[in-house]
Structure 1
Amino acid sequence: MAGAAPHVMVLPFPAQGHVTPLMELSHRLVDHGFQVTFVCTEPIHKLLLDALQQNAHSGRGDEALDGIRLVSIPDGLADGDSRRDLGKVLAGVSGRVPAYVEELIRETEASGKRKVQWLVADSTMACCYQAARNLGVRVASVCPASAACLVTSLRIPQLVRDGFFDDKGFPKRHGTLELAPGMPPLCPTQMAWNIDGAPEGRQAAFELVFGMAQVTGLAEIVMCNSFLEAETAAFKLCPNVLPIGPLFADQELQKPVGQFWPEDASCLEWLDAQPQNSVVYVAFGSLTIFDLRQFRELAEGLELTGRPFLWVVRPDFTSGGLSKAWFDEFQTRVAGTGVIVSWCPQQQVLAHPAVACFVSHCGWNSTMEGVRNGVPILCWPYFSDQFANRSYICDIWRTGLGVTQSEDGLVTKEEVKIKLERLTGDKGIAERARVLRDAARKSVNEGGSSYENFKRFVDLLTE
């Protein structure tokens, strides 16, 4: 097979929660002998290289990553546009990136490298599928979110026709709707395209999600980073979407999965010194931003629990103006019990026996990583599909609890303390989390449904 291994181009949407699962998939393809070119927009490419160098994973030059070739394309934004403005990023992706992808495929071939036979692309990048098809490149689609999220996106044209939304994605009806029993109910004001900021940003988000309805027509195979037992109802609704998750790069969790920031691995040694099932792990992904009042309430709530905690506080986690004196004093008070890092190897943390629970924004990657390790989750969703993921965790799987905001929209320190005490003391939640964990592990092991679907994918690529 090595002689004939096809050249696969992998294309994630430019965000951490999309890069990680597609990087995990890429490692698995390399293990099967494929040649993989991993395509990121320039700002993301730079973050990956900087983090890799600082993590000292790669002593083999910048462009290689365990057999994965990293290349970049422009992101379509103008000089001076903020990459934190999701609306601008989305407009750049849908408006300009397809042409850059087409150009890259042509250049790759012209440079004498092996012809790109497959584009394995994020379902959120459906806008690029036709560009690949125009050049005779076959397309495989990977949804890094839940099957429920993908199924909902595929149903958008129908939901617009049925009068739930107008043609710009604004809700026309109140209340919730349910696509099928056993799926998270949809709240029209909490859809994946409901992002803060300028109306044109929201419009770009809606068009991108609306465009995902083309996925099934242009891709030869549609896969999802999920597993059958987690989302039975969603997979029943869309039998042509194949679960291949929960994805992971390697059993030992040693391969780099495309982190945007250098990981502070010293927290693993600290975890080694903590009693089993004692630590509260707190991480809100790569995009969530807390205002100062909320940040303080969370900090003081963690302190109130009296439990050891590991908290990921990105340099850009608060909306500016955090009092250094206050934060230094807080860290002094919790020294010994609380460890604060700017980024960490999350998969290794969640697999650690010292971790008792996970305070999470409910991004799908974090959700799957928590599920795979049987860790109960305290849900604190922020935007997009995170509300539906909370519904899975709290209402359908019942492997976690949600935080409740006070009347002024704040999650108080008392709420943090009470919910963490309830979560860590609930034997039913712990048992259900273990059962779901076992189902997840069974699905990716030999003979499991995700394992078999992945094999189908590999066979298709080698046809």
Structure 2
Amino acid sequence: MEKKTPKPHAIMFPYPYQGHVNPFVHLAMKLASEGFTITFVNTLSVHHQITKSRPEMAGDSIFTEACKSGLDIRYKTVNDGFPLLFDRSLNHDQFVEGLIHVFSAHVDDLVGRMVHSDPPITCLIADTFFIWSSVIAKKYNLVYVSFWTEPALVLTLYYHLDLLVKNCHFASQDNREDTIDYIPGVRAIEPKDLMSYLRATDDISTVVHRVIYKAFKDVKRADFIVCNTVQELESETISALQEKQSIYAIGPVFPTGFTKNIVPTSLWSESDCTPWLHTKPHGSVLYVSFGSYAHVSRQDIVEIAYGLLLSGVNFIWVLRPDVVKSDETDFLPVGFEDKIKGKGLIVPWCSQIDVISNPTIGGFLSHCGWNSILESIWCSVPLLCFPLLTDQFTNRKLVVDEWRIGINLCEEKLITRDVVAERIGHVMSGNLAEGLRTNIQELKKILENTLTTHGSSRQNFNRFINDVEAKIREKACVCHTETGPYDTEKLPNLNGVNRPSN
């Protein structure tokens, strides 16, 4: 009698930052809606921050409400190697070292204990930035899916790191500054538009560089890559990548209709801005946020603050307490909050979906995180771009140069209040603002269409599910007919690290 193929069961590991956890949660919900069993794994630190911002959860799974609708989503936490009170922001490099050397051993232990769950785990879905995914997937005979949460342009630049090195645009004693026109699927890009880590000229042996080197070798061993982007927005880049590997553009992965997610993911308590917004005219408010992770210099904060005052616009400004650094919380100009009464609202955190979907929002001064860009397009909100690190500079190129749905806050290295005020004016009103809104409304139509039954993202998602299920069946057949079920204890431990004891 033929052995029945088990129900697909994917274990999912998001990178432990807000901007990565959010799309992972959305993907988990989409897969569970298609019949997958999901085991979603957050670090203890991320879970602690979420529950701290939502005390009513009292230790519940973040998927409690989702499971009430019949979705089979289990929830686990795993130690990232550091105490809960360890400041991961202030000690960034040490934290990333821990993710490489300690966290991976805890993941190995968890997966090893869950391969015999009911139903058994058959698929590993891990953030592309993890360097251990292919090793663990191979060890436990799992289908390995790499989930890329940023645009395909950024993925393909990292993917072809060897070409950048060969042509002396990266890792050279004197990096070339001419146009890069040899990356498959990328027409041309200037060095200034590369991700910040690839523009480094002094030290390219940092822990982040080591993660990049290893992660983008590892991703080439993935069975499948899913990408939170849209085929129509990056068709040439995606097509070129598809010649190398199976990659599926399934974005945007946020809930259809842009409704607020029923799964709590915010790492900070959210302020309710809706009553204040209701007092403002349609399209009159500028939303300002630098995301959940990036830091801004005190001097830039001061110039932006005075620029907001000079512009005269209404604004909501999300200022995390650690936006400069976690041990410096007094960074606004003296008396600033008194001067903005009636015009501005400063909050430590909010539900971005609730704010930018409000009709009073007319523009978004953004760090150009990829989630923020997709959300802005969905809400037809033009962008004022202020990239700070990593992929944000490359994302800016798409927004400003390719799609023309936003403008730069400042081309110069030094930000000045006068330029800030001028650019705010350009994005909030006038002919330039109208042009941006026209362009972004066209992109919104593309996003809406791609999620319909016959849209590219829906079709790609269906194809991805079918291909994963076929690969699971293939692995199950090989495992049982050739060697019998894997004896994981006989396989080598990851990186030579012994599993933690229970």
Using the size of structure 2 for normalisation, the TM-score is 0.82
- CA 1:189–1:231 in 2, change beyond 3 Å: closer, same or farther? closer
Structure 2 counterpart of 1:437: 444
Structure 1 counterpart of 2:38: 36
Aligned equivalents of 1:379 and 1:188: distance in 2? 15
Mapping of 1:76-225 within 5 angstroms? 76-77=81-82, 82-84=87-89, 85-109=91-115, 112-166=117-171, 172-178=175-181, 179=183, 185-187=189-191, 190-193=194-197, 199=203, 202-225=205-228
Alpha-carbon deviation of 1:188?
Answer: 7.1
Aligned equivalents of 1:182 and 1:399: distance in 2? 20
Structure 1 residue corresponding to 2:420, chosen from 391, 416, 432: 416
Structure 1 stretches of 5 or more lacking a match?
none
- CA 1:446–1:305 in 2, change beyond 3 Å: closer, same or farther? same
Choose 1 or 2 for highest CA Rg.
2
Note if contact 1:185-1:388 (Cα within 8 Å) is conserved in structure 2. no
Matched, 1:446 2:459: no
Listed one character per residue, the Cα deviations across residues 226-283 of structure 1 (whole Å, up to 9, x for unaligned) are 101221231132124221111103532242352211211x202322332221110000
Alpha-carbon deviation of 1:352?
Answer: 1.8
Aligned partner letter, 1:242? Y
Note if contact 2:44-2:84 (Cα within 8 Å) is conserved in structure 1. no
Structure 2 counterpart of 1:460: 467
Alpha-carbon deviation of 1:100?
Answer: 2.0
Q: CA RMSD in A?
A: 2.9
Alpha-carbon deviation of 1:401?
Answer: 0.5
- CA 1:119–1:330 in 2, change beyond 3 Å: closer, same or farther? same
Note if contact 1:63-1:71 (Cα within 8 Å) is conserved in structure 2. no
Alpha-carbon deviation of 1:457?
Answer: 2.3
Aligned equivalents of 1:281 and 1:339: distance in 2? 10
Aligned equivalents of 1:213 and 1:60: distance in 2? 36
- CA 1:282–1:79 in 2, change beyond 3 Å: closer, same or farther? closer
Runs (4+) off by over 6 Å? 78-81
Matched, 1:263 2:270: yes
Aligned equivalents of 2:195 and 2:344: distance in 1? 35
Note if contact 1:164-1:188 (Cα within 8 Å) is conserved in structure 2. no
- CA 1:383–1:171 in 2, change beyond 3 Å: closer, same or farther? farther
Structure 2 counterpart of 1:6: 8
Note if contact 1:276-1:355 (Cα within 8 Å) is conserved in structure 2. yes
Aligned equivalents of 2:455 and 2:416: distance in 1? 43
- CA 1:92–1:423 in 2, change beyond 3 Å: closer, same or farther? same
Aligned equivalents of 2:79 and 2:407: distance in 1? 41
The secondary structure found in structure 1 opposite 2:160 is helix
- CA 1:114–1:5 in 2, change beyond 3 Å: closer, same or farther? closer
Structure 1 counterpart of 2:302: 296
Deviates more, 1:66-75 or 1:440-449: 66-75
Aligned equivalents of 2:95 and 2:366: distance in 1? 24
- CA 1:236–1:263 in 2, change beyond 3 Å: closer, same or farther? same
Structure 2 stretches of 5 or more lacking a match?
68-72, 471-502
- CA 1:293–1:324 in 2, change beyond 3 Å: closer, same or farther? closer
- CA 1:257–1:20 in 2, change beyond 3 Å: closer, same or farther? farther
Structure 2 residue corresponding to 1:354, chosen from 334, 339, 360: 360
Matched, 1:279 2:285: yes
The secondary structure found in structure 2 opposite 1:193 is helix
Structure 2 residue corresponding to 1:245, chosen from 248, 251, 260: 251
- CA 1:184–1:416 in 2, change beyond 3 Å: closer, same or farther? farther
The secondary structure found in structure 2 opposite 1:401 is strand
The secondary structure found in structure 1 opposite 2:126 is strand
Aligned equivalents of 2:332 and 2:366: distance in 1? 27
User: Percent identity, aligned pairs only?
Assistant: 27
Note if contact 2:356-2:379 (Cα within 8 Å) is conserved in structure 1. yes
Deviates more, 1:15-24 or 1:72-81: 72-81
Using the size of structure 1 for normalisation, the TM-score is 0.88
Aligned partner letter, 1:157? D
